[in-house]
Every structure is written in structure tokens, then in C-alpha cells.
Amino acid sequence: MSERQGNQGGRPVGAPNVARGFSYDEPLIFEHSRPGRVGFSLADCDVPEVDPAEVLGAAAVREDALTLPEVSEVEVMRHFTRLSTWNAAVDFGLYPLGSCTMKYNPRVNERVAALPGFAQAHPLQPPALSQGFLELAWRLERGLAEVSGMDAVSLQPAAGAQGELVGMMMIRAYFADRGEVRTKVLVPDSAHGTNPASAALNAYEVVTVLTGDDGLLHPDEVEKAMAPDVAGLMLTNPNTLGLFETRIAEIADVVHRQGGLIYGDGANLNAILGVARPGDLGIDVMHFNLHKTFSTPHGGGGPGAGPVGVKALLEPYLPRPVITRNGDDAGADADEIGGLDFERPKSIGRVHGNFGNVGMFVRAWAYLRALGPEGLRRCAEMAVLNANYLLARLGDTFFVPYPGRVMHECILSDRHLADTGVTTLDVAKRLIDHGYHPPTIYFPLVVEGAIMIEPTESEPKEGLDRFIEALLAIEREAHADPETVKTAPHTTRHNRLDETRAARKPVLRWEPPEGE
């Protein structure tokens, strides 16, 4: 463990490890519980007390008191604050997950999203009382359309996966409207699992197209699979190998020539922001992951947002209602500059109970406005530069399945470690001892033992260097002392969890120990 870096820049590079004594063990909140202890004070009841069984019916009233923990306010505060320090977080240091992206969450965006006019607006508030929000949403739609080269955008889908589902529903509606029977959708073998799932949920048969040895999709492979019964192709660009699909325009031609449409998975849009627009490359419909490209914090399962953008030919099928703008000439005394159009006979319908996850729209709009066109472009350039720097420094040590330049993320594998018995999983676990959340591993599936690293634009060179040094140290250790790597992590409260059992047989109920 001599080469541990630790603490991600909490100390100068090369300095000895500093204090680790402020990391608390923490029991369950139920173990803090003492009978009768309270953390709140409620006012006396000022309405007549009734027997709940009489009002609600006996069946609705529980027989035993609910076993809730009885703890004081300060205990609750400390319990959850301590637990929060157990999490890896972008606020602690570099977070190398790939195919994931958003690692910079400007506080000012959190601030504006929390403004009461946005955060406390009721979703059913009539348009006349929601003009500010409607204007923001309308402008965000226009902004996303501009960045992507699309003609119209719906903000409703709550995640990228739902955006895909909605995009494929619109493709299906488009062909149904034209009386064309198309039953298949082409999906490259490097695609994210949500792509074939979205096609299958729309009752399409998924046809896998193989990527070439260079990791790219080739027009002749698409040509071979393309037929009049194929509704289209789902494509990610840059793809999940971190490579730009250089032949996308020819591929789009192949599909369009036979009447098919191109679905663009926009999860990696941050790599080309301000440089290339999916709409200009032949994509007809795409989703944006606001939590991957436009500042919404990513992770922890919190809400995201997956707006969809379409070319004009799919506009009639957009989810309804569509946000409309009446034009500035509506006049200052007009009630409604913006409104909601429900009269959309070809719409696939509503896909969200209300407008979508509104807080994400405010963050995304603040982000777009703060960066502007130059700033967005700079994000893409820095993200690509950082990933190539990582690859250049690690590429001699780790196996690189697709050598050459990458876009915003790079893929290594454990092939160089084959004779040590150390695998990608071991490397990922050992990184934890160096103070890093592991990168994405074993994805994409087309690369055996993949280690996928996405540094993003916001990581300084010193941060990248520390991370690189950690990986190089692990590689040296894998040869010198493979057992230590294979049994990592060594500095966590728990070592290797049985992840399968944790998912399949979670223990969700706490039982007090016998005799208490």
C-alpha cells in the first residue's frame, strides 16, 4: 500500500497520507433509538379528538404502534450527515464513470432552480399564472433545438431511456400515419441496452448491426441489413466506445434512401457541443440527457430529464401539450404570451403527468445561458482533450482495444494484466483505496474487460495526473503483488460485497436484537 495516493488532492502530490481519523462508524438509526426520546415538538391539537376506527373503519387502523426510531433532533442530523460522508461525490474529487458525463453542477444553477417561483409552482397552475416558467421552457426547447440542429423539442420525458421510448413511439406513429408496415429496427452491437429495449417496447424486432474492427459502424453493414420493412437505425454519436462515427452521413443516406429514419442517442452530446449538430448529420429524432450534458447532478437515482428533439417531419407526433408562444406582438396587456396547445390530433399523447422534471429545465437553461455558444464549444473541446490526455498516458500500460484518438471518453482493458490474474474488477476495487470511485467497467459489452473512463471538461490537469498515477501504481502492483489487488479494497468499512445477493436478497427490515 506504499503507493497509495489517497484523498484526491486533499494534500500535495507526494506528501505522506494525512489524517483519516474523522470518518465515523455509524450504527443504524434504530440503534440510536431510546424509548420516549423525541426530536420535534408539535402544538397541542386544536380540533376535537375522534376515534380513528370510527372515522376510518377498524380495518384501516393498525393494531400495534409503528416501530419508528425515537431519537433527538441532533442525533438525526448527525446520523444522516455522517452517512453522507460515506458517499463518493463529485464534490470530493474526480469521478471517472463513463457513458455518464455530468460531473460539474454549478451551485448557481441549484440556486435558480430553488427560486420559489419555479420550485413551488403548482404543476396544474393555469398558463396565465405560469408565464415565467412557460417562457423558460419554451426558450430551453429553442436552445436545445439550436444546439442539436433539430426543429422542435418536447421536454416531457423524464430520462434518456424515456426519451428513446418516446422517440421510437413517434417513429411508429409516423409510419402508421403513412400506412407503411415496418417491423424492424437496426441497433449497433455497441449500443446502450436502452436502445434495443426502446425498440422492443414499441414491438419492433431488433436487428443487431456489427461494428467494424475500428469500433465504427460502416455503411455497407447497414446497407446489408436495411430493407423496406426496417423503420430505422438507432445510433449513438460519439458511440459508446468514445469514437466519432465518421461515416454517419453516408449511413444516414443508406437508411433514408429506403424511407427509414435515424434515431440519435444523445447521451454523449457533450463531446460535440458547439462543434457538430446531430441534425446536420442526418439524425431525425434524438434525446438529450440533461443530467449528462446540461448541469443536472447525475447519480443517486435522483430525477433526470430526457427531452426529445425532432425534425419537422415528426413534429406532428410530439407529446402533447406543446408549449406555444403567441409572439411579442400579443402586447403587454395580453394575458398570455405563452400557452399550451392540446389540439394535436397526431400526437402520441402525454408521456409525463405534467411538464416533466421542471427543476432540471431551470438548471439546463441557466447552464446554456451562462456558457453561451463559445462556452459550450469549449466544454466539448476540453472534454475531448482530457480524455485523450488520459489515453496518451495510460495507453502504453493498459491494453487499448481501439487505438487512436477518442472523443470524450477512453476505453482500456485488462488484457495487459492477463498473466497476473488481476482483472478489471480488481483494478476498479483497488482504485477505491486510492480515493477514487471506480470507473464504468465491463461496458460496452463488445470490449472484454472494459474500463471506461470519462474525465469530462471540468477536471484540472493535476487531478487527471493524480488519477493516472493511481492507475499506474495499481498496474505495477498487479505484477509485484497481485494478491493485494485481488483482495482490494482494504481501506473501506466493508471489503467485497456479494453484489448479486445484495440485489436479489436485500435485507430491508431491522429486527431488534434478542432481549431488547
CB of 248 to ligand PLP, least distance (A): 15
Q: Is 356 a binder of ligand PLP (CB under 6 A)? A: no
Site for ligand PLP in 243-262 (CB under 6 A): none
Q: Is 194 a binder of ligand PLP (CB under 6 A)? A: yes
CB of 359 to ligand PLP, least distance (A): 15
Report how far residue 104's alpha carbon sits from residue 107's, in angstroms, rounded to the nearest whole number.
9
Q: Is 449 a binder of ligand PLP (CB under 6 A)? A: no
**257 residue type, one letter:** R
| CB neighbours of residue 452 within 10 Å | 25
Which CB, 409 or 426, lies closer to ligand PLP? 409
Write the binding mask 270 to 289 for ligand PLP: x where contact by CB under 6 A, - elsewhere: -------------------x
**487 residue type, one letter:** T
Name the nearest CA neighbour of 8 among 465, 493, 415.
465
Report how far residue 379's alpha carbon sits from residue 139's, in angstroms, rounded to the nearest whole number.
21
Interface stretch with ligand PLP, choices 79-87, 140-148, 154-162, 450-458 (CB under 6 A): 154-162
Interface stretch with ligand PLP, choices 153-161, 466-474, 487-495, 505-513 (CB under 6 A): 153-161
* CB 388 within 8 Å of CB 410: yes
C-alpha cell read off for 396: 502504453
Look at strands 322-325 and 338-341 and give their pairing.
antiparallel
Write the binding mask 198 to 237 for ligand PLP: x where contact by CB under 6 A, - elsewhere: --------------------------------------x-
- Nearest residue to the partner ligand PLP, using Cβ: 160
**335 residue type, one letter:** D
**CA angle, corner 356, sides to 353 and 360, nearest 5?**
155
Task: Pick from 145, 152, 267, 371 the residue near ligand PLP by CB under 6 A.
Answer: 267
CB of 4 to ligand PLP, least distance (A): 31
Number of residues that bind ligand PLP (CB under 6 A): 13
Contacts of 286 (CB under 8 A, 6+ apart): 148, 150, 167, 263, 264, 265, 266, 278, 308, 309
CB of 386 to ligand PLP, least distance (A): 18
Q: Is 99 a binder of ligand PLP (CB under 6 A)? A: yes
Which CB, 98 or 143, lies closer to ligand PLP? 98
Report how far residue 404's alpha carbon sits from residue 246's, in angstroms, rounded to the nearest whole number.
14
Helices (H), 271-357: 290-293
CB of 81 to ligand PLP, least distance (A): 29
Write the binding mask 288 to 317 for ligand PLP: x where contact by CB under 6 A, - elsewhere: -x--------------x-x-----------
* CB 185 within 8 Å of CB 230: yes
C-alpha cell read off for 33: 433509538
Residue count of the chain, please give it.
Answer: 516
Helices (H), 334-357: none
Q: Is 265 a binder of ligand PLP (CB under 6 A)? A: yes
Which CB, 291 or 320, lies closer to ligand PLP? 291
Q: Is 160 a binder of ligand PLP (CB under 6 A)? A: yes
Which CB, 266 or 401, lies closer to ligand PLP? 266
Task: Report the C-alpha dihedral over residues 185, 189, 190, 193, rounded to 10 degrees.
Answer: 60
Task: Pick from 156, 240, 357, 424 the residue near ligand PLP by CB under 6 A.
Answer: 240
Cis ω for the linkage preceding 12 (within 30 of 0): no
Q: Is 424 a binder of ligand PLP (CB under 6 A)? A: no
Contacts of 308 (CB under 8 A, 6+ apart): 153, 154, 157, 163, 166, 167, 170, 285, 286, 287, 288, 318
| CB neighbours of residue 329 within 10 Å | 6
Q: Is 242 a binder of ligand PLP (CB under 6 A)? A: no
CB of 192 to ligand PLP, least distance (A): 3
**CA angle, corner 316, sides to 311 and 319, nearest 5?**
95
Task: Pick from 97, 136, 161, 169 the residue near ligand PLP by CB under 6 A.
Answer: 161
Name the nearest CA neighbour of 154 among 370, 337, 361, 366.
361
Which CB, 102 or 322, lies closer to ligand PLP? 102
Q: Is 454 a binder of ligand PLP (CB under 6 A)? A: no
* CB 273 within 8 Å of CB 289: no
Instruction: Please give the helix or strand (H or E) that residue 478 lies within, else none.
Output: helix 461-480
Interface stretch with ligand PLP, choices 47-55, 156-164, 211-219, 256-264 (CB under 6 A): 156-164
CB of 201 to ligand PLP, least distance (A): 13
Interface stretch with ligand PLP, choices 102-110, 157-165, 218-226, 253-261 (CB under 6 A): 157-165
Give the interface with ligand PLP as residue ranges (CB under 6 A).
99, 159-161, 192, 194, 236, 240, 265, 267, 289, 304, 306
